[in-house]
Structure 1
């Protein structure tokens, strides 16, 4: 099975400093939904791994998160694609959990659930935590400059071997051209 793991905010959809709290605030980045559909068309399964500390902070509840994800899944489906699984960490950074990126817990759980070893699996995100989690899981970190990506690149200290792309569509082009 071929797998790609994506971050959500800043990678698939526009991010917000105030968190995405409602379905109305969730807006796809141009080309992102079609990029997911192209992955699916090439035989890739797509998983999403997203930190959602707004839940623990009381900024949104599970009903709101589920509604946001339902909107995202429907939008991807309307573009001809699908997301196979969504994993999220509801914890804030001061909570001791194994799932919050930069720890690799969500990635490991995705690999186990789908029966896919993570060695070399492309993991695409806009934040340093996304890249660190990918590297810690043995996956291939790929930075997109959308969302916080430009600031992440400027901050340096990227995991060894991190590839950089303008957006999700460009990253998918690279994955598909590599076979």
Structure 2
């Protein structure tokens, strides 16, 4: 099974320092949903792994989060994209849970649910915590410069082997080109 793990805010949709608290605030980054459709067409299953501490902070409810994700699914389907699952951590940083990135618990849960090894599975994020969670879980880390990505790149401290891309569409271009190159050389 070919799997890709994507962060949500700053990768698929615009991010906000005030959190995405309603479906109206969820706005896709141009080209991101079409990039997911291209991943699907290439045989990838797309999983979203996202910290959503706004729930613990009382900024929105699980019902609102479900409505935001319903909008994400509907917008994706309009361009022929399918997101297989959305995993989220509802906890605040001081809850010390295992599922909040940069801890790898959410990614381990994905591996267990889909019965796969995460070794080499691409994980795409715009923050160090996304990349570190993926790296610790054995994933191949990819930084996009959308969302908080430019600040993340400029801070440094990226996990070894991190590849940098302008946005999700550029990541998909690179991934599919490498896959085509590998297939043509065999």
1:143 Cα offset (Å): 0.1
- 1:143 and 2:143 correspond: yes
The yes-or-no answer on 1:175 pairing with 2:175 is yes
Q: What is the match of residue 112 of structure 2?
A: 112
Pair 1:3-2:37 in alignment: no
* Runs of 5+ unmatched residues, structure 1: none
What is the TM-score normalised by the length of structure 1?
0.99
List, as ranges, runs of 4+ consecutive aligned residues in structure 1 with deviation greater than 4 Å. Answer: none
The CA deviation at 1:107 is 0.8
Structure 2 residues not aligned, in runs of 5+ = 180-186
Alpha-carbon shift at residue 85 of structure 1 (Å): 0.6
Count of residue correspondences: 179
Q: Based on CA coordinates, which of the two structures has the bigger radius of gyration?
A: 2
1:43 Cα offset (Å): 0.2
Q: Distance in 2 between matches of 1:78 and 1:108?
A: 30
The residue aligned with 2:39 is: 39
- Give the 3-state SS of the residue equivalent to 1:35 in structure 2: helix
TM-score normalised to structure 2 length: 0.95
What SS is found at the alignment partner of 2:4?
Answer: strand
Once residues 97 and 76 of structure 1 are traced to their aligned partners in structure 2, the CA distance between those partners, rounded to angstroms, is 30
For 2:17 and 2:165, the matched residues in 1 are separated by 22
Question: What's 2:183 paired with?
Answer: none
| 1:89-147 deviations in Å (ceiling 9; x for gaps) | 00111111000000011111111111221000000000000000000000000000000
1:57-136 matches, within 5 Å, as 57-136=57-136
| CA distance in 2: counterparts of 1:58 and 1:159, whole angstroms | 32
Once residues 2 and 77 of structure 1 are traced to their aligned partners in structure 2, the CA distance between those partners, rounded to angstroms, is: 20
